Amino acid sequence: MSIWWSLHLRREAASVPLARRLLVGAMETAGVDPETSYELSVALSEACANAVEHGGGDAGRATGEYRVTAYLDGEMCRIEVTDSGPGFPAARAEPDRAVRRRSQRPQTPPAGPDGEHAEHGRGLFLIEALADHVHVRNKPGRGAVVSFDKILKWREGALLAAPPREPVTA
């Protein structure tokens, strides 16, 4: 069994906790380990906050929509956040940034424009720190897609847990 859902949300701050609560509720019902659920919910919140802040036509105006899609399967959760904004600046991402695995990521966040402890500019770093794989696709002038996945840990007796693998015999 698997769970799949997709939301089309307005670019408003109130949409971020809505998406997060839906994800946490689905993972809790399915039996995902609470720590794994928390990490994915923080990563989703960051991706949604980026879409709300940067994912529309006119800077500073909360117009338009963005989409959140989540897939929970036996071994993995994949989340994708798609907006219709200007895309990432060239300095932040190539037109199609490659998947970055945990071992390839920087260990410290980049210094923001307001110094080492800036409140902005940390979203992608946090997503990369919390997820197992992150893929950023940039469509300049048409938006950005941030997708990330994480191998799931399950509570005992979880509904969607992957069945134990049979040992491979040669």
Q: Exposed, middle or buried, 22 (CB in 10 Å: 0-12/13-18/19+)?
A: middle
Q: What confidence score (pLDDT) does residue 79 get?
A: 98
Each residue's pLDDT tens digit, 100-118: 555 554 555 555 555 454 5
Q: Supply the pTM of this predicted model.
A: 0.78
Which is higher by pLDDT, 10 or 121? 10
Q: What confidence score (pLDDT) does residue 6 get?
A: 97
Q: What confidence score (pLDDT) does residue 85 get?
A: 83
68: three-class secondary structure by DSSP: strand
Each residue's pLDDT tens digit, 51-110: 999 887 655 444 689 999 999 988 999 999 999 888 776 645 544 444 455 555 455 555
- CA 119/CA 4 separation, integer angstroms: 32
Closest residue by Cα to residue 139 from 93, 99, 101:
93
